[in-house]
Amino acid sequence: MEEADQLCLAAKSNDFKKVQTLITSGTDVSHFDGDGLTPLMHAAKTGNAEIISALLEAGAPWNALSPSNLSAGDFAMEAGHQEAFDLLLKTGIQSELILGTIARKETKNEYSNQEYLQDRVTFSEDKIMDNESKGVMMAWEKPLMEAHAKAICTNGGSILNVGFGMGLVDTAIQQYNPTKHTIIEAHPDVYKRMIESGWGEKENVRIVFGRWQDVVGELDECGYDGIFFDTYGEYYEDLWEFHQNLPKLLKADGVYSYFNGFCGSNAFFHVVYCNLVTLEIESLGFSTQLIPLPVKDCLGDEVWEGVKQKYWQLDTYYLPVCQFSE
């Protein structure tokens, strides 16, 4: 048997000494065995924290995926191995924090969703799709958007929403009669549709057409009582950049929330990102509460008919409620 397969077997059978010997002799720690599993996945299944630490220290990839798209963290989570899970989570967060810092240092010539904003989108009753048939916004999210609106409208007052999409969150925000309701939207087709459907004529609504990055300076200097952020085709880095504006955009007792859709097809990666955003937002002076909402019932297979990517496959959605820390 090849050494790398022996390493998988040693991890599977809790043989720490053998794992150590094989690591010391330079065995490939990122090897996939005949079942498509890495030594780290085997260790996560058995929950052996000592072996997991040794493998991680030797450079085993925490984010490798099995043939059924599960990572070591998913295996630890499924089996309820808390210590193993915590170790993998810590590694995932650290590694993504480092990657994020590197990405922020790189100079970008263009922005993340330039192509999306220049291409046409198509509208139907239950979704908006981009020109690659990916769902920009889908009606199954309506209960989530209503819950976000409820959270950010807790104090009434002046509300800001970034990204109109199907107008689900904005329709829900209107139910709370905000004194002012500002909406930023960057896609020309979506903007046109907003105007055609009368959003520009609502007394308390101000529409700001453009990318939030370009128009953030035109916003209300007094700040907002509630803010929601949900764009499309942008990355974690863009959300991070938006968050840098929060301290000046949100009133002292205001409530901020964002669409928490990072890594919506993998439960463990999603937990990593929930923690990452919470940590980074904490460094800006905010505390975050994640409210679990079951979504399994809104998501039958028929929802995804004709849509290229199932961007959400998890049973629970964690709605973030962020406020300035006391």
Ligand X SMILES: C[S@@+](CC[C@H](N)C(=O)[O-])C[C@H]1O[C@@H](n2cnc3c(N)ncnc32)[C@H](O)[C@@H]1O
The residues of the shown chain that bind ligand X, judged by CB under 6 A, are 113, 136-137, 145, 162-169, 184-187, 190, 211-213, 230-232, 234
Tokens found for residue 251: 């009133």
Q: Which is nearer to ligand X, 42 or 211 (CB)?
A: 211
Q: Which is nearer to ligand X, 145 or 277 (CB)?
A: 145
CB of 11 to ligand X, least distance (A): 41
- Can you tell me whether residue 90 is helix, strand or coil? helix
- Dmax (CA) of the chain: 74
CB of 310 to ligand X, least distance (A): 15
Q: Which is nearer to ligand X, 85 or 191 (CB)?
A: 191
Report d(CA 229, CA 240) in Å as an integer: 11
Q: Which is nearer to ligand X, 54 or 166 (CB)?
A: 166
Q: Which is nearer to ligand X, 5 or 189 (CB)?
A: 189
CB of 151 to ligand X, least distance (A): 13
Q: Which is nearer to ligand X, 62 or 212 (CB)?
A: 212
**One-letter identity of residue 211:** R
Q: Which is nearer to ligand X, 72 or 250 (CB)?
A: 250
Task: Give the nearest residue (CB) to ligand X.
Answer: 165
CB of 302 to ligand X, least distance (A): 20
CB of 299 to ligand X, least distance (A): 16
Pick from 248, 260, 326: nearest CA to 287: 326
Report d(CA 186, CA 110) in Å as an integer: 15
Pick from 157, 162, 181: nearest CA to 259: 162
CB of 189 to ligand X, least distance (A): 8
Residues β-bridged to residue 161: 183, 228
DSSP string of 255-320, one letter each residue: EEEE---TTTT-HHHHHHHHHHHHHHHHTTTEEEEEEEEE-GGG--GGGGTT-S------SEEEEE
CB of 234 to ligand X, least distance (A): 6
Report d(CA 222, CA 217) in Å as an integer: 12
